[in-house]
Structure 1
Amino acid sequence: MDSNNVSDTTNTGPLVTAHSLPPDQISPKSLILRVFQLKNVARRNWKLLLILIALGAVGGFIYDSLNKTRTTYTGTIMFNLGGGSTSGGFGGDLGQLAGAFGLGSGAPDASIFSGDNFLIYAKSRPVVEKTLMKTDTINGKDTLLINYYIRHSGIRDKEWEDNDTLRAFYFNRPKKPAEYNKLERSAMAAIYGRIQGEISVTQPERKSSFMELGCFMEDEQLTATFLTTHLKTIEEDYQAKQTKKTSEMLTVLESRADSIAGLLSGTENKLARYMDQNQQVVVAQAKIQENRLTRNSTFLTSIYYQAVQSAENMRLSLIRETPLFTIIEPVSLPLYMEVLKPGGLQIGLALGLVLGIIIVFLRESYRSIMRGN
Structure 2
Amino acid sequence: MTPTNQTGNLAANNALPPDQLSPKEVIARAKNFQYIIKRNWMLLAGMIVISGLIGYLIDASSTKKTVYAAKIIFNLGGGSGSSQMADLGALASAFGLGQAAPEASLFTGDNFMLYSKSIPVIEKTLMKTVVVNDTSYLLVNYYIQHSGILDKEWEEDTALQKFRFKQPTLRKDYNKLQIAAMADINARISDELSIKQVDRKSSFMALIASMENVDLAKSFVENHIVTIEDDYRLKQTKKTTEMERFLSHRVDSLYRQLSGTENQLASYLNQNQQVVVAEGQLKQSRLSRSSTFLTQQYYTAVSSLDNLRLSLIREQPLFTIIEPVTLPLYATIPAKIAMQAGFAIGLVLGIVIIFIRETLRNMAKN
Could you tell me the TM-score, scaled by structure 2's length? 0.80
* Alignment match, 1:64: 59
Change (3 A) 1:348 1:292: farther
Is 2:112 the partner of 1:118? yes
Is 2:292 the partner of 1:298? yes
Is 2:321 the partner of 1:308? no
- List aligned pairs for 1:230-245, cutoff 5 A: 230-245=224-239
- List aligned pairs for 1:268-287, cutoff 5 A: 268-287=262-281
Q: 2:168 aligns with which of 170, 174, 184?
A: 174
* Alignment match, 1:288: 282
* Alignment match, 1:246: 240
Does the CA-based 8 Å contact 1:68-1:342 persist in structure 2? Answer: no
CA distance in 2 between counterparts of 1:117 and 1:311 reads 32
* Alignment match, 1:160: 154
CA distance in 2 between counterparts of 1:65 and 1:134 reads 37
Change (3 A) 1:178 1:343: farther
Change (3 A) 1:46 1:292: farther
Is 2:186 the partner of 1:216? no
- List aligned pairs for 1:4-83, cutoff 5 A: 60-83=55-78
CA distance in 2 between counterparts of 1:240 and 1:356 reads 68
Does the CA-based 8 Å contact 1:110-1:243 persist in structure 2? Answer: no
Does the CA-based 8 Å contact 1:68-1:341 persist in structure 2? Answer: no
Structure 1, gaps ≥5 residues long: 1-15, 368-373
Deviations 1:158-199 (A, max 9, x none): 221211211111100011111111111111111111111212
Is 2:315 the partner of 1:321? yes
CA distance in 2 between counterparts of 1:236 and 1:298 reads 43
Change (3 A) 1:224 1:346: same
* Alignment match, 1:186: 180
Deviations 1:136-160 (A, max 9, x none): 2222122211111111112112221
CA distance in 2 between counterparts of 1:355 and 1:189 reads 45
Q: 1:141 aligns with which of 126, 135, 138?
A: 135
Change (3 A) 1:71 1:79: same
Change (3 A) 1:106 1:154: closer
Does the CA-based 8 Å contact 1:90-1:106 persist in structure 2? Answer: no
Change (3 A) 1:355 1:299: farther
RMSD: 3.7
SS at 2:327's partner residue? coil
Q: 1:257 aligns with which of 244, 251, 269?
A: 251
Is 2:91 the partner of 1:84? no
Does the CA-based 8 Å contact 1:76-1:330 persist in structure 2? Answer: yes
- 1:257 counterpart letter in structure 2: V
Change (3 A) 1:225 1:176: same
State the shift of 1:266 in Å: 1.3
SS at 2:333's partner residue? strand
CA distance in 2 between counterparts of 1:85 and 1:354 reads 69
- 2:334 counterpart letter in structure 1: L
CA distance in 1 between counterparts of 2:120 and 2:43 reads 56
CA distance in 2 between counterparts of 1:263 and 1:106 reads 26
CA distance in 2 between counterparts of 1:351 and 1:128 reads 45
The alignment covers a number of residue pairs equal to: 343
State the shift of 1:72 in Å: 2.3
CA distance in 1 between counterparts of 2:167 and 2:113 reads 29
Does the CA-based 8 Å contact 1:90-1:98 persist in structure 2? Answer: no
State the shift of 1:55 in Å: 7.6
SS at 1:340's partner residue? coil
Change (3 A) 1:329 1:29: same
Give percent identity, aligned residues only.
51
Change (3 A) 1:237 1:268: same
SS at 1:70's partner residue? coil
Change (3 A) 1:166 1:106: closer
Could you tell me the TM-score, scaled by structure 1's length? 0.78
Is 2:218 the partner of 1:227? no
Structure 2, gaps ≥5 residues long: 1-12, 361-366
